[in-house]
Amino acid sequence: GDSVTQMEGPVTLSEEAFLTINCTYTATGYPSLFWYVQYPGEGLQLLLKATKADDKGSNKGFEATYRKETTSFHLEKGSVQVSDSAVYFCALSPYDYKLSFGAGTTVTVRA
Amino acid sequence: GAVVSQHPSWVICKSGTSVKIECRSLDFQATTMFWYRQFPKQSLMLMATSNEGSKATYEQGVEKDKFLINHASLTLSTLTVTSAHPEDSSFYICSAGFRELSYNEQFFGPGTRLTVL
């Protein structure tokens, strides 16, 4: 079945460091891919998405490119801030509305 | 943006009792709501999908009689954990979607931590 694997955390960075969170997927067909973020005490929020191969999703300085050849959707940000401390979830959605999530990666950014 | 609330945010109950968790869409009408379960350091697992006014659709392996889902209005869905046992302790998260967006753009509640003693 469809599944998502993302790098285990926790990840601790200093402010202005470069962040990469790896995400790979297994799916039949061509799913949509997502990154969700969960800030402390809040619900999951959609961070960015890509619906087809080679699409690049971007938001708040974060980027991820849908790579069909490597079945990957890695999340990157060039310069993180303390406010980026959160749990990040990679997810996919096949032809229907269901979402399959990765395990989540906890990111802590220190000043 | 769209806001989804859950109540309570945490609950502790005795084994054998039932617990109800509410999920509300505060500023939009949600035609579909989803219930997830999350174990520590693990993925969110979809438990069921509920459409307003109809029976919920449960994922394989989820006990329908243990996890009762009701979606009686466009702003409220409830999950009742019946005859709860310690193995039901978990973090339960709901999400809501509505017609104007793709269904896979869901808005999530903050979750409810259930501890069964």
Residue B62 — very low, low, confident or very high, per pLDDT cuts 50/70/90? very high
User: What residues in A contact B10, CB-CB < 8 Å?
Assistant: none
CA distance linking residue A45 with residue A60, whole number of Å:
12
DSSP string, A14-32: ETT--EEE-EEEE-SS--E
Residue B88 — very low, low, confident or very high, per pLDDT cuts 50/70/90? very high
Distance between B6 CA and the closest CA of chain A, angstroms = 10
Kindly state the average pLDDT of the residues B86-92.
95
pLDDT digit string, tens, across residues B26-58: 988 887 899 999 887 778 899 999 888 788 999
CA distance linking residue B5 with residue B52, whole number of Å:
17
Residue A44 — very low, low, confident or very high, per pLDDT cuts 50/70/90? confident
Higher pLDDT, A30 or A62: A62
Q: Are B104 and A98 in contact (CB < 8 Å)?
A: yes
Tokens, residue A99: 């979402």
User: What residues in A contact B51, CB-CB < 8 Å?
Assistant: none
Distance between B98 CA and the closest CA of chain A, angstroms = 11
